[in-house]
A = this chain, B = another copy of it.
């Protein structure tokens, strides 16, 4: 398998964490990418016309994206249990993944606003609106922490990757101080080898 890779993409990390949990991370060849919302990557576009990472090419030549589809495919084809097959457990895990991906989408837009957009064109209300999505999401988990269990599934892995991205890009925002129950869960859950591993391009 081949994966268009970026070392700082939280969605790539979600895919690699799932692959590690399934014991197949070392079967994935990482491909370089320069995905960016403004300057696009023709090498990715040739396979995934959205030009985004992660994009997976299977050994059979199937091209899969986005991270949700790749993770479910990895799980289904390697006899995993990251996606509960049916019933309440499935919907709980998928909703937690949606919450985590929603946190990430908001955090990425907030990041682009301050790191990609020219300073004179930044809109504070937009940045604030995106970070408020992160805030209300973490507040909901802090007040009703039953989704924060120790079992690795697509929900908890996605959430850990979202929180790891906040550590990476929004450390000054201080989410761990504001949401101590969520932070305590994250500190423990992030000890999993799948979340401790670092991936890099060959060479």
- A residues lining the B interface (CB < 8 Å): 36-40, 45, 49-52, 62-66, 68-69, 72-73, 76, 86, 88, 91, 94-95, 98-99, 101-103, 106, 116-118, 121-123, 125-126, 128-130, 132-133, 136-137, 139-141
CB neighbours (8 Å) of A39 from chain B are: 129
A117 to B123, CA, bound (A): 7
Flag if A122 contacts B125 (CB, 8 Å).
Answer: no
How many identical subunits does the complex contain?
Answer: 2
Given A40-B132, A66-B98, 8 other A-B residues pairs in contact with their CB atoms under 8 A: A40-B136, A50-B102, A50-B103, A62-B88, A64-B95, A69-B95, A117-B126, A121-B123
Flag if A137 contacts B49 (CB, 8 Å).
Answer: yes
Flag if B95 contacts A136 (CB, 8 Å).
Answer: no
- What residue in chain B is nearest A141 (Cβ atoms)? B49
Flag if B49 contacts A139 (CB, 8 Å).
Answer: yes
A77 to B192, CA, bound (A): 34
